[in-house]
Amino acid sequence: MSSVSGLGIDGLVSGLDTTSLINSLMTAESQPQTDLKAKVTSTQTTITALQTLNTQIASLATLATTTKAPTSLAAFTASSSSTNVTATTGTSASAGSFDLVVGAVAQAKVGVSAAMTSWPAGGSGSTPALTLVDSTGKATDITPASSSIDDIVSAVNSSTAGVKALKVASGTDANGVAQYRIQFSASATGAASDFQVYSGTSSDVTAGTATNILAQSGSAVIKTAQDAQVTLFAGTAAEQTITSATNTFSDLLPGVSVTVSKASSDPVTVTVAQDTTTAGATASALVTGINGVLASIATKSAVVNSTDSAGNKVVSGGPFTGDSTVRDANDAIVSAASMPVDGHSPSEYGISINKDGSFDFDQTKFATALANDPAGTQKMLSTIASRVADAANSSSDKYQGTLTGEITGQQSIVTDLNSQVSQWDLRLTARRAALESQYSTLETQLASLQSQSSSLTSSLAGLPTTYTG
């Protein structure tokens, strides 16, 4: 039994199913609200589709903006005739080859002290001390905790002098006491990382009273500090020697860096060639991005034929069917990618349009065009990418984009529709209350009439019977 304010309304007197009657009336009266809710759902579906497309077109705009750069196809690869030389390229490289001779590889200085049981006294002080002097003459004073080899090693390794120390066992002395050598190594390669090790303070070094540890009897310099060295145009009047503190020569030629690993008197040939595979991937990515947008629009614009539960044919469109803003965005992108560049069709460079509006990319044709006309191919791709970027930005710009504007408009429509739905909630609630009140009053009146009828019948039954013969 349904009720309003606690009053029963089902037809106890009338026999009517008033709850069902009211529900049927409310279903009919709520049809406008049902239609509004359906419109909200449909519009929200369209908004979601538009937002997805807008994001996709914005991504295409970003890709096209990168692709339109005048060096977007400046991809090169370098090879070497020797495994002792490797080369890498940047966007400023150009095709060609050159020879070089590796005269030396970079190395860090490594020296070992003579065998000792503890750090020797040096200079004028009694406190254990040592000084590291770099190639520029800068001295770094180091004060170890004691003269023990372990404390010396720890103090060196904790300093900022750019030198590392290592304790190496070296037998025993004449008294059977364990002896050690200390290996000193520069932290970096190159001649500029050379160093000297002294027993004593920097003042002692200046005074000439400090002991040069690596110049003592029994000590040795295992590796000298050395720059890497290569020679270009060897044996000619233009011979040129170049050095590097590391084994890598950055921008040895514009956009070409070389790393060496072994010295040799034999010349090594480095060849730089256009990387058509990488360049082709750049162009292919743009075509793929364009096709992705066009496919999304086509899918959501398609008209679908189906049948309903009664077997009737139903024709339904997608969220983009008949949407002129989406159609304009589609046409603008297609036009941007297919229009000629300086009188030449993009198909001459491997970018062609199909009958369905999608695009194909021919890697082989593009590579041939790039090899025959690098500048023309770059200009073609940059122009197409620039036009696509403009078309995509026109649609997806977050402030003035046409799709962005449509999304905002559709969102306003949903807000208005939801407001109308809420108003209908109040209206229908009031209507149901009115109907329930009417039917409740009807039942009350019928009950009163029924009571009067019963009373009248009872009164009539009590009257005396008159015989009239």
Over residues 437-454, the pLDDT tens digits come to: 777 777 777 767 767 777
Instruction: Give the whole-angstrom CA distance, residue 435 versus residue 284.
Output: 68
**Token pair listed for 269:** 């040939």
Whether 257 and 309 share a structural domain: no
Q: Does the residue 423 lie in any domain?
A: yes
Whether 269 and 284 share a structural domain: no
**Token pair listed for 280:** 């082709």
Instruction: Give the whole-angstrom CA distance, residue 466 versus residue 334.
Output: 107
Instruction: Give the whole-angstrom CA distance, residue 1 versus residue 17.
Output: 10
Range name among 34-38, 218-222, 386-390 with the lowest pLDDT average: 34-38
Range 244-268 average pLDDT: 95
Whether 317 and 404 share a structural domain: yes
Whether 253 and 306 share a structural domain: no
Instruction: Select from 205, 223, 241 the last residue of a domain.
Output: 223
Whether 212 and 248 share a structural domain: no
**Residue with structure tokens 């309304």?**
9
Whether 127 and 216 share a structural domain: yes
Render pLDDT for 123-150 as a digit per residue (tens, 0 to 9): 666 678 999 999 999 999 999 999 999 9
What confidence tier does 222 reach under pLDDT thresholds 50, 70, 90? very high
Whether 285 and 267 share a structural domain: no
CA angle 21/25/27 to nearest 5° reads: 115
State the angle between helix axes of 402-462 and 374-396 in degrees (0 to 180), rounded to the nearest 10: 30
Whether 442 and 317 share a structural domain: yes
Whether 343 and 409 share a structural domain: yes
C-alpha closest to that of 190 among 223, 165, 160, 161: 223
Q: Does the residue 461 lie in any domain?
A: no
Residues of the domain holding 118 = 110-223
| Domain count of the fold of the chain | 3
**Residue with structure tokens 């304009």?**
328
Give 213-254 as a 3 state SS string: HHHCCCCEEEECCECEEEEECCCCCCCEEEEECCCEEEEEEC
**Token pair listed for 81:** 């005739």
Q: Does the residue 292 lie in any domain?
A: yes
Compute how many other C-beta atoms are within 10 angstroms of the C-beta atom of residue 386.
16
Instruction: Select from 274, 294, 309 the last residue of a domain.
Output: 274
Whether 410 and 360 share a structural domain: yes
Q: Does the residue 459 lie in any domain?
A: no
Instruction: Give the whole-angstrom CA distance, residue 461 versus residue 102.
Output: 137
Instruction: Give the whole-angstrom CA distance, residue 257 versus residue 243.
Output: 13
Q: Does the residue 455 lie in any domain?
A: no
Instruction: Give the whole-angstrom CA distance, residue 427 versus residue 202.
Output: 96
Whether 315 and 439 share a structural domain: yes
Q: Does the residue 328 lie in any domain?
A: yes
Predicted pLDDT of residue 2: 43
Predicted pLDDT of residue 55: 94
- Has this prediction a pTM greater than 0.85? no
Predicted pLDDT of residue 80: 97
- At residue 173, does pLDDT exceed 80? yes
Whether 310 and 345 share a structural domain: yes
Sign of the Cα pseudo-torsion (210, 215, 221, 224, in order):
positive
Report the DSSP pairing between strands 139-142 and 85-89: unpaired
Sign of the Cα pseudo-torsion (208, 210, 214, 217, in order):
positive
CA angle 131/132/137 to nearest 5° reads: 110
Q: Does the residue 211 lie in any domain?
A: yes
Instruction: Give the whole-angstrom CA distance, residue 378 versus residue 391.
Output: 20
Q: Does the residue 462 lie in any domain?
A: no
